[in-house]
Amino acid sequence: MTDAAQEAPVETTVDGMAEEAESNSQPVGELNGLRWGLRVAGATLALIGAATLSVAHAANVGSSFHFLNGIVFLGMILMAWAFAAVSRRTHIGQERRYRDRLFMRSIQLQDMAMRDELTELFNRRFFFERLQQELAQASEFGHQLAVLMIDVDGLKKINDAFGHTVGDAALVSLAKLIVKCTRTADIAARLGGDEFGLIMPEATKRTALAVVERLSQALEVTPVYEPDGQALKLTVSVGISGFPWGGHTVDELMRRADTYLYAAKGARSGQADTQPALVGDGLAE
């Protein structure tokens, strides 16, 4: 079912952007320049003061000159302290801004690592990690949980007829329809190629079936691609599983959903093209 051209790994992109973020987020250039500038200014003030005292001592000038020189030297010290205070405040502000930028970039990279690059849905790894968490919570609190496996029918034919660019566009449109037809709490993911998964926390079999019906209606009226004015529509096959009626482990849930998915594909030959094939036990309960 998986078409190699629709597999878009994101790890390489994320790693490269992480290195770029790290290199761009370090305040090395600006802060080092500020530090060295203050050091040079301090050293210059010290040299001026020392030279002034040396000249005054050698010339054996009067006390009034020493008094004035002391005032000037005290002013230099106060100016140096002011520079130090300003530099510290500037340094803290720059560090804070760089930390905020790095934190936001880290969040962006974490989100990218969880996403499928093509459809922007969650990816396979995040799907199974989240399914394990949701299953544990459902088991602990006695909630129900539904899992849907959604597979595109005939993606290879679309790729062969229109090209992989159209196939990719169709998958992106389908991903948007899946999100539109699901609840806010549901977790939609692209598991690979033409296969999608949906986790529905605290959902009964009836709730899962309602989502499938909404997706069916959306696919009937919404073309996923319109090349040269021709409306291209997709059909999908769906397998439903859930906790506790479909199993108590991730493997059991996925195996049951996958079994019903393949059974749904086998049943498609007797259904209209615009209706998603659906197989599952007790869906009308």
Q: What residues are labeled active site?
A: 194
Query: CA–CA separation, 285 vs 283, rounded Å?
Result: 6
Tokens of 249: 């482990």
Tokens of 174: 């389908």
Query: CA–CA separation, 135 vs 6, rounded Å?
Result: 29
3-state DSSP assignment of residue 275? coil
Helices 63-114 and 28-59, packing angle to 10 deg: 170
Q: Are 261 and 280 in contact (CB under 8 A)?
A: no
Query: DSSP per residue over 11-78, as a string?
Result: HHHHHHHHHHHHHHS--HHHHHHHHHHHHHHHHHHHHHHHHHHHHHHHHT--HHHHHHHHHHHHHHHH
Tokens of 66: 């020493």
Query: CA–CA separation, 215 vs 188, rounded Å?
Result: 13
Tokens of 61: 């000038």
Query: CA–CA separation, 37 vs 76, rounded Å?
Result: 16
